[in-house]
Amino acid sequence: MPSSLYVSLSAQVSMENRMNSIARNVANVNTSGYRAEEISFSETLTHAGKNDVSFVSMGDTYISRRQGAITKTDNPFDVAIEGEAWFSIQRGQEIAYTRDGRLTMDQTGMLTTVNGEPILSASGAPIQMDPEGGKPIIQADGEIMQDGQGQGRLGLFEISEEDKLTRYGGSAVVTDGVPFPVQDPTKARVVQGYVEGSNVNAMTEMTKLIMISRSFESAAKAMETTENAQSQAIRELGSDS
């Protein structure tokens, strides 16, 4: 089989992966705290035969850390992070991290996500509030006050740029590194009554989808042209023999 067919096929596989990634992003354009999925591609060379042949890789998926737009809600249980930090949540036996700051308080007074997962403090412990207390006042450093009494502090965690993020359902992620509490208050702060939205730009994603669809069609036509040329060559050589 000609190398050009393999090259076109590798291009189609990589573009299919990119289209799937875009579809997931568009599906989560309204998911609070969602970070878009991106793919980086690289060139792969093969030295089989007389000449080197260049293929495109299937792509390395990563999660964008770009901050989403912050929207005012005036809900005292809504919080957003300005800066590069994450909230910590308990999900089963796992510790995950999220930018979704839509909080709630259960009947026992435990502070949780909208899905009922405990929000953790900087020490990794659940935050217990007074279920009969008033509305919380959440300060920039994450300190929670209720009826003038401190109820704990929201944990804000840094995740190193070198650490890989993996999707863990919805807007939550897990990392292969070890996140650590924010030490410098100038790096991140909590704003109460606001929520961070998805960082997906729907218009940009749809534009990418159109461009990739056209490239996919071009690769398919290139494969068809190569196959037709090969078939014609076989017929002509066969008729001359």
pLDDT for 209:
80
How many other C-beta atoms are found inside a 10 Å radius of the C-beta of residue 36? 23
pLDDT one-digit tens code per residue, 20-69: 888 889 999 999 999 998 876 544 444 455 555 554 555 678 899 999 99
CA distance to 96, 111, 143, 147, 226, per residue, from 152 (Å): 19, 10, 6, 13, 67
pLDDT at 234: 61
* pLDDT attached to residue 104: 95
pLDDT of residue 1: 46
Backbone φ, ψ for residue 28 (5° rounding): -115, 25
CA–chain centroid gap for 59, Å, is 15
Of 164, 168, 207, the closest CA to residue 18 belongs to 207
Distance, in Å, from the CA atom of 31 to the CA atom of 39, rounded to the nearest integer, reads: 20
Distance between CA atoms of residues 19 and 44, nearest Å: 21
* pTM tops 0.75, yes or no: yes
User: Can you say whether the dihedral through the CA atoms of 61, 205, 42, 11 is positive or negative?
Assistant: positive
pLDDT (0 to 100) of residue 126: 95
Give the three-state DSSP class for 196.
Answer: strand
Could you tell me the residue ranges of all domains in the chain? 3-65+204-240, 70-196
Q: How far from 134 is each of 114, 117, 193, CA to CA, in Å? A: 19, 22, 15
Residues of the chain with pLDDT under 50: 1-2, 42-47, 55
According to the model, what pLDDT value does residue 13 have?
66
Question: Under DSSP, is residue 165 helix (H, G, I), strand (E, B) or coil?
Answer: strand
Kindly report the average pLDDT of the chain as a whole number. 83
Q: Is the dihedral of CA 118, 121, 123, 125 positive or negative?
A: negative
Q: For position 60, what pLDDT does the model report?
A: 75
pLDDT of residue 110: 95
Residue 63 phi/psi, 5-degree rounding, is -105, 125
Residue 31 phi, psi (nearest 5): -85, 120
